[in-house]
A and B are shown apart, each in its own frame.
Chain A
Amino acid sequence: MHALRLLLDGDPYTLEVIATSLKISAVSLAIAIAIGLPLGLALGMTRFAGKGGFLVLVNSAMGLPPVVVGLFVFMALRNDGPFGQAGLLFTPTAMVIAQVPLAVPLIAGITMAAIAALHPDIRLQARGLGAGRIQQARLVAREARPSLVAACIAGFGITISEVGAIIITGGNLLVGGHNYTRTMTTAIVQETRQGRFDRALAFAIILLVLIAIVNIFLTRAQTRR
Chain B
Amino acid sequence: MNPLQASGIRHRYGTFELNVDQIELTSGKVTCIMGRTGSGKSTLVRILGCLERPQHGVVQHAGGKHDLVTALQKAIMWQGSVQENVEYGMKVRRIGKRQRRSRAEDALDALDIYELASHDVRTLSGGQTQKVALARAIVLDPEVLLLDEPLAHIDQESARTIATTLKTFTSRTGCATGWVTHEVNEALGVSDYLAVMDDGRMMQSGQTLDVARLLGGHNIIPAKIESCVGGLATAAVNDHRFEVVTDLVAATEVFLLVRPEELTLSQDQQPGSSPRNHFEATVTEVTWHGAVATIHLKNDFSVTAVVTRPALEELGIILGTQLWVNFKATATSVIPRS
Contact B51 A129 (CB under 8 A): no
Give the complex CA separation of A118 and B79 in angstroms.
12
Q: Tell me if A121 and B76 are in contact (CB < 8 A).
A: yes
Question: How many residues in B have their beta carbons less than 8 Å from beta carbons of A?
Answer: 23
Contact B79 A130 (CB under 8 A): no
Asked if B66 is an interface residue, CB under 8 A from chain A, the answer is: yes
Instruction: Tell me if A129 and B140 are in contact (CB < 8 A).
Output: yes
Q: Are B92 and A130 in contact (CB under 8 A)?
A: yes
Bound complex: CA A225 to CA B81 (Å) = 10
- Interface positions, chain B 38-88, Cβ under 8 Å from A, are 46, 49, 51, 65-66, 68-72, 74, 76, 78-80, 88
B89 on the interface (CB 8 Å rule)?
yes
Q: In the bound complex, do residue B140 and residue A128 qualify as a contact, i.e. CB atoms below 8 Å apart?
A: no
Decide if the interface of chain B is mainly helix, strand, loop or mixed.
mixed
Set B79, B80, B89: member contacting A129, Cβ < 8 A: B89
Residue of A nearest to B93 (CB): A130
Q: Which of A97-105, A106-114, A135-143 contacts B (4 or more CB under 8 A)?
A: A135-143
Number of A-B contacts (CB under 8 A): 53
Partner of B79, one of A124, A131, A132, A143: A143
Q: Is the Cβ of A143 less than 8 Å from the Cβ of B78?
A: yes
The answer to whether A129 touches B69, judged by C-beta atoms less than 8 angstroms apart, is yes
A130 to B93 Cα, complex, angstroms: 8
| A125-B72 contact, Cβ under 8 Å, with A130-B89, A225-B79 | yes
Bound complex: CA of A130 vs CA of B140, how far in Å?
10
Q: Is the CB of A142 within 8 A of B79?
A: yes
A47: B residues at CB distance < 8 A: none
Q: Does B137 contact A (CB under 8 A)?
A: yes
- Chain B CB count within 10 A is highest, among A119, A129, A139, A142, for A129
A128 B49 Cβ-Cβ under 8 A: yes
- Beta-carbon contact of A225 and B76 below 8 Å: no
Shortest Cβ distance from residue B219 to the other chain A in the assembled complex, whole angstroms = 38
Q: How far is the CB of A16 from chain B (nearest CB, A)?
A: 43
Contact B79 A125 (CB under 8 A): no
Q: List 7 A-B contacts (CB under 8 A).
A: A119-B74, A124-B72, A128-B70, A128-B146, A129-B89, A129-B136, A142-B78
